[in-house]
Amino acid sequence: MIGIPFEINKEFATELFLKWIKKKHIRKKLRNEILHSFSLVPRYIPYWNFDTVYVEGEYEWKRGRDDQPEMEWTERSGHIRWVIHDLFIPALTTYNEYSLTKLSENFSANRFVTFDPDYSAGEIAKKPTIDHRKGWEEAKEQIYNRLEREVLSDTKIGPDEAKLTALNLRYTDVTQILVYVAVYLCTFQYRKSTYYIAIDGGDGTCIGSSPTSALRVLGRILFHKE
C-alpha cells in the first residue's frame, strides 16, 4: 500500500484542532460544548492521485461590457497547453467531500511511502467507494474549472468583461494510482446540522466547517478583529 503516513500523534492533532476551533466565530458556550464532546478518529483515506497530465486544447472567448450594450463584444480564440501534477481526488463518498478535497491541496507525491502491512494494522484504512473511472471524471472537471479561470484571468483587460464561449481539452500521458493518506476525522452536530473537520495526519492542517454566531461575525467586522 502506498500513501502518506501519520507523522503527528492524536494528542498533538487534538491540540491543533482546539486552536483551530477557537479561531472560529463561535459563541463561547457553543465552543465549550464542542471542545467537551468532540473526538478525533484516525483513518487512512483513499485518494486517486493523477500526475503528469498533459492538457492541450483550444478556447474561444469574447470581451466587452454588459453595462454598455452599444459596444460590440470582441471575439477571439486561442490555444492552451498545461501540465497537471499531483491532483488528488477523494475515493470515498462516506465523508464530507469538501473537507477531503480541500485538505488534498496540501498533499504531494514526495511524501509517499510504501506501507508495511503491520504499519497500518493499528489504523483502519477505508475502502474506496469511487473507482478510477469516476475519479478521472471528477479530475477532468476540476482541471476544466481551473483552466477556465486561468483563461478568463489572462483575457480580462481593464474594465472589460471576458466570457468563455468554448473550451475543448485533450488529455495525454495520464498516470494514476490509488494512495492512502493519514487523516484525523472529526464530526459533530449542532441544531440538526452536521459539521465535518479533517486534519492532515502529516502536517496538521485543519479543514472543515463550523457553526457561526452572526453577532460575533458582525462584531469582528465592525472592530476589525482577526
- Alpha-carbon distance of 124 to 110, in angstroms, equals 23
- Give me the chain's average pLDDT, please: 80
Residue 21: per-residue pLDDT: 79
Proportion of the chain above pLDDT 90, given as a percent: 29
How confident is the model at residue 47, as a pLDDT? 95
Residue 144 pLDDT class (50, 70, 90 cuts): very high
- Could you give the CA distance from residue 1 to residue 94 in angstroms, rounded to a whole number? 21
- For the cut 60, the answer to whether the pLDDT of residue 135 exceeds it is yes
Looking at the chain, list the stretches that DSSP marks H as alpha helix, in order from N- to C-terminal side: 10-22, 28-37, 97-103, 132-155, 214-222
Lowest mean pLDDT among 59-68, 83-92, 215-224: 215-224
Instruction: Determine the length of the chain.
Output: 226
What is the per-residue pLDDT for 127? 85
pTM: 0.80
Residue 75 host element (H or E):
strand 74-84
Neighbours of 182 (CB within 10 A): 23
Domain ranges of the chain: 2-222
The predicted structure's pLDDT at residue 160: 63
Is the confidence at residue 92, as pLDDT, over 80? Answer: yes
Question: What is the predicted pLDDT for the residue at 159?
Answer: 53
